[in-house]
Amino acid sequence: MLVEHLLYTAGAIERVGTVDAGTSQSDHDPLEIRRKISLSASVLPIEWHDHKINLIDVPGYPDFIGDLHAVAQVVESMIIVCEAKKDIDVGFDLAWEVAEKHGLARCIFVNKLERDNADYEGLITTLHERYGSKIVNVQIPIGHQAAFSGVLDLLNMKVYKGKDRGVEIEDAPAGYQEAAQERREKMMDAAAEGDDDLMLKYLDGQQLTTEEIEHGLLVGTETGRVVPVLLGSALSGIGVATLLDRIIGELPSPVEVPKTFDGKAFSPDPNAPLAGYVFKSTADPYVGKINYVRIFQGTLKVDDHVWNVVKEKDERVHNLFFPHGKGQEAATVVTAGDICAIAKLQVTGTCDTLSTQKDKIAIPPIDFPEPIYRIAIKPVSKPDEDKLGPALMKLLDEDPTLRYVRDATLHQEILEGMGDIHLDSAIEKLKARFGVNVTTDEAKVPYKETIRAGAKAQGRHKRQTGGKGQFGDCWLELQPLPRGDGFSFENKVVGGAIPKNFIPAVEKGVRETLEKGFLAGYQVVDVKATVYDGSYHDVDSSEQAFKLAAAIAFRSAASNAQPVILEPILQLEVDVPDECVGDVVGDLNGRRGRLQGMDPLSPGKTLVRAQVPLATMGRYALDLRSITKGRGRFKQTFSHYDELPPTDSQNLIKEYEKQRAAHEDDH
C-alpha cells in the first residue's frame, strides 16, 4: 500500500489500488492476488523532482526471502516498513540483516500510525534498545492513533498535513515545540557525526544550517552510521510526499555512489565498459523468459550484442524495456545506475553478468540461503510427467531458493524450498502457468544398510530345465569398510575355480544386490566383497548364473555380518531469541538431537548447535517458526551417517517385509 501511494503521489498512476481488491501495482500475479501477499519482487520506477527512483517491492514473508537477497545485490538503499508497535516483526530482522550484509544504506518507515493500538514511542524505544544511537528520528507524528493527521519534519520544523498530492505545510503547533526541539538536537548530533568538518563546527558551539544537517544525514546514511526514522500511513498516504523528498535528499544515488563487489568499485559512468547484472528472471507464458538487469556501469542499447560472462556466450538484445510492475515501457537506451528488463535472451539467467567480449567484467553470484523444507512430488498423469521436467526448470530458473532432486535410490522426486507456503505456491504455479498437476507426499529418508563384522558364505545357483541348465557357484567374504568408503571388490580366486570371464558377472551380481539392499530395501554401503573360491560347469555355467550365485552369497554372508541400518545425520545451527533457547533445546532432544554447544550472537540471540537425524526433521521449519513466533532461523548441512536405533530399525524391516509379502501376493 505504501508503494501504491508513492506511485500515486508521484503521478505514476491515476488511482490508488488496494491489496484486498487485487488492484495494487506490485502484487499483480494471480496467485498474489488470491493469497493477498507478495510472492516475488516487483520493479516500479517513478519520477520525483527531476529524479528517477527505482522502487522494488520485495516480499516480507520469510518463505520468499530469496528475492530480498537478490534485490539487495543491486540496490543502494533499503526502506524497511514496520508497524507502529512495540514488538518488531520477523521480516524487519531479516531485512536489517540482509541490508547489513550487503552494506546498504537504510531508513525505517513507521506505518499504521492511524490504528487504535499504534505505539510509536514503544517502537522507538525498542529500536534504540536494539540498534543504539544510529536510529535517528527525523520526524514526529502530529496527533495520536485515530487523531493522527500529519508529520512534523525536524529538518525544517514544518508540519506536513494532508495526503498524496494534497499536502499542506504549516508551522509546528505550540504543544509540539519542546519535544521537536529536543529530537532536532539529537538529529543534529547524528548529522555532525556523519561529516568531520561538520563535527568540528558543531563542537565549536555553532548551529548547523538545514543544508548542513541534510548533508550530514546523507553521509551518515550512506555509511550506515545513521538510520533515519520516517513515519506516516500507507493506508491514507500521510507522510508519503516527505518520504519521497527524503529518498532524494538522504538516500545514496547510484550515480554518485559506486557499488563495490570483492573490493572492486563499479564506476556509474555511462561511457565505461558495460557491466549489467541479472538479479531476477521470470518465465512468462506469453512473452517467454524475462531477465531483470541492473546496469552498474556503461550503457545498454536495443540491438546491442552483449557477452554473457558466466555462460561465455554472445547475446543479442532485441526486446529492451523498463518494467512497471505488471506493465512495461519500451526502452532504446539504459544507462549506468538504472534497471531494465530484457525478454527472450537465449542462455541468460539469474546471477549472470552481461558485459562486452573484450572486457568480460564479472560480478559475483548472489548468496542465496539453502532450502530448509522438503516434500515429494508425483505427476498425476503421463502428460503431466512429460511436462514436469521443463516446467520445473523454468521455475528453478525463476526462483534459485527452490531445488529439485530426483532421488533414484528412493524413487522419489523431491522439491525443496524455504517453507510450506513457498512450496505450495511453487506447486500452484506449476498448475496455473504450465498446466502440470502433481500430488505431494512426505519425502522419504535415504537410509542405508551396512555390516559391522566380517562373514563368509557360499552362493550356489543351479537350475535344470528342458534344454541347457544353469550353474554358478561362488564363495564370498564380506568385510566392513570405514564409514564413507563406499564399496570395493577383490578377486582372490586361484587355480581357475571360477573362470576369469565369469568374475565380472560375480561383481555385477554383488553391485546389483548393494542397490536393492537386504535388510529393508536400502542401498548397502561401506562393504568390501572378496570372491575367493567357487566351481563351474563346462556347459551350464553362464554370466547370468554367476550373477545370481553372487547375489545369494552376498545376502547369506551379510545376514551373518551384524547388519545395521544407517540414517543420515544433519549438522544444525539454530539462531534463536534468548527467551526461546530452553524450548528449542527441549524440542531438539525430542528429535534425538545431540547438543554440541551454544554461542551468544547479537544481543538477545543465541546460536544453538546440534546434530539431528534427518528422519525427525520433516516439519522442523514449521515447528521452529511456531516455537519462536517466527524469530528462529536455522541452517542445516549433511554431516554423516550413523546407526539407527534398534527399535526404529525393526520398524523399517517389518514394514519392508510387509511390502514384499504384499508384492509377492500380487504376483
The 3-state secondary structure of 110-153 reads EECCCCCCCCHHHHHHHHHHHHHHHEEECEEEECCHHHCCEEEE
CB neighbours of 415 closer than 8 A, spacing ≥ 6? 374, 375, 376, 377, 392, 402, 403, 404, 423, 426, 427
Question: Nine-digit cell at 499?
Answer: 573362470
Query: CATH number for the domain including 390?
Result: 3.30.70.870
Q: What's the pLDDT at 167?
A: 84
Q: What's the pLDDT at 582?
A: 95
Q: What's the pLDDT at 667?
A: 56
Q: Has residue 658 been placed in a domain?
A: no
Q: pLDDT tens across 353-407, in order?
A: 999 999 999 999 999 998 999 999 999 999 999 999 999 998 998 899 999 998 8
Structural domain ending residue among the three candidates 561, 593, 609: 561
Do 27 and 136 belong to one domain?
yes
- 146 versus 307: which is more confidently predicted? 307
Q: Has residue 167 been placed in a domain?
A: yes
Element (H, E) at 44: strand 42-48
Between CA 169 and CA 180 the distance in angstroms is 16
465 DSSP 8-state letter: -
Do 138 and 52 belong to one domain?
yes
Between CA 519 and CA 555 the distance in angstroms is 9
CA 631 to chain centroid, in Å, comes to 16
Q: What's the pLDDT at 528?
A: 97
Query: CATH number for the domain including 616?
Result: 3.30.70.240
Q: What's the pLDDT at 539?
A: 85
Q: pLDDT tens across 274-309, in order?
A: 999 999 999 877 778 999 999 999 999 999 999 999
Q: What's the pLDDT at 467?
A: 67
Mean pLDDT of 338-351: 95
Residue 504: phi, psi to the nearest 5? -55, -35
Element (H, E) at 212: helix 210-223
Question: Nine-digit cell at 421?
Answer: 507456503
Q: Has residue 625 been placed in a domain?
A: yes
Q: Has residue 653 been placed in a domain?
A: no
541 DSSP 8-state letter: B
Among 76-85, 148-157, 424-433, 654-663, the range scoring the smallest mean pLDDT is 654-663
Q: pLDDT tens across 608-648, in order?
A: 999 999 999 989 999 999 999 888 999 999 999 999 999 99
- Determine how many CB atoms are found less than 10 A away from the CB of residue 286: 4
Q: Is the pLDDT of residue 414 over 60?
A: yes
Do 336 and 351 belong to one domain?
yes
CA atoms within 13 A on the CB side of 338: 23
Do 485 and 615 belong to one domain?
no
Do 571 and 552 belong to one domain?
no
Give residue 141's pLDDT band: very low, low, confident or very high (50, 70, 90).
very high
221 closest CA partner among 95, 359, 104, 319: 104
Q: Has residue 440 been placed in a domain?
A: no
108 closest CA partner among 235, 1, 227: 227
CB neighbours of 143 closer than 8 A, spacing ≥ 6? 149, 150
- Determine how many CB atoms are found less than 10 A away from the CB of residue 565: 22
Mean pLDDT of 261-279: 91
88 closest CA partner among 116, 56, 129: 129
Between CA 221 and CA 597 the distance in angstroms is 37
3-state secondary structure of 180: helix
Question: Nine-digit cell at 1?
Answer: 500500500
Do 56 and 141 belong to one domain?
yes
Q: Has residue 210 been placed in a domain?
A: no
Query: Order of strands, edge to edge, in the sheet holding 487-491?
Result: 455-463, 470-480, 527-535, 487-491
Do 291 and 388 belong to one domain?
no
Do 613 and 491 belong to one domain?
no
Between CA 24 and CA 325 the distance in angstroms is 9
Query: CATH number for the domain including 475?
Result: 3.30.230.10
Question: Nine-digit cell at 327?
Answer: 506493465
242 near 156, Cβ under 8 Å?
A: no
3-state secondary structure of 606: strand
Do 514 and 620 belong to one domain?
no
- 663 versus 96: which is more confidently predicted? 96
363 near 295, Cβ under 8 Å?
A: no
Do 13 and 143 belong to one domain?
yes
Enclosing domain of residue 316: 262-355
Handedness of CA 546, 549, 554, 560 (dihedral sign): negative
Q: How far apart are the first and last CA of the chain?
A: 62
Helical H segments across 42-89, by residue range: 65-72
Which amino acid, one-letter code, is at 603? Answer: P
The model's pTM is 0.86
Strand partners, 378: 439
Give residue 666's pLDDT band: very low, low, confident or very high (50, 70, 90).
low
Between CA 217 and CA 639 the distance in angstroms is 47
Q: What's the pLDDT at 17?
A: 84
Residue 316: phi, psi to the nearest 5? -105, 130
Give residue 665's pLDDT band: very low, low, confident or very high (50, 70, 90).
low
Mean pLDDT of 172-198: 87
Per-chain mean pLDDT for the chain: 91
Q: Has residue 228 been placed in a domain?
A: yes
Between CA 211 and CA 633 the distance in angstroms is 43
Q: Has residue 25 been placed in a domain?
A: yes
Do 104 and 18 belong to one domain?
yes
Between CA 213 and CA 136 the distance in angstroms is 12
- The DSSP annotation for 367-426 comes to -PPPP-EEEEEEESSHHHHHHHHHHHHHHHHH-TT-EEEEETTTTEEEEEESSHHHHHHH
Give residue 466's pLDDT band: very low, low, confident or very high (50, 70, 90).
low
Do 50 and 106 belong to one domain?
yes
Question: Nine-digit cell at 171?
Answer: 508551522
Q: pLDDT tens across 54-88, in order?
A: 999 999 888 899 999 999 999 999 999 999 999 88
Between CA 4 and CA 325 the distance in angstroms is 11
- Determine how many CB atoms are found less than 10 A away from the CB of residue 122: 13
Mean pLDDT of 576-598: 95
Q: What's the pLDDT at 263?
A: 83
Q: What's the pLDDT at 299?
A: 96
Q: What's the pLDDT at 320?
A: 95
Q: Is the pLDDT of residue 270 over 60?
A: yes
Tally of domains within the chain: 5
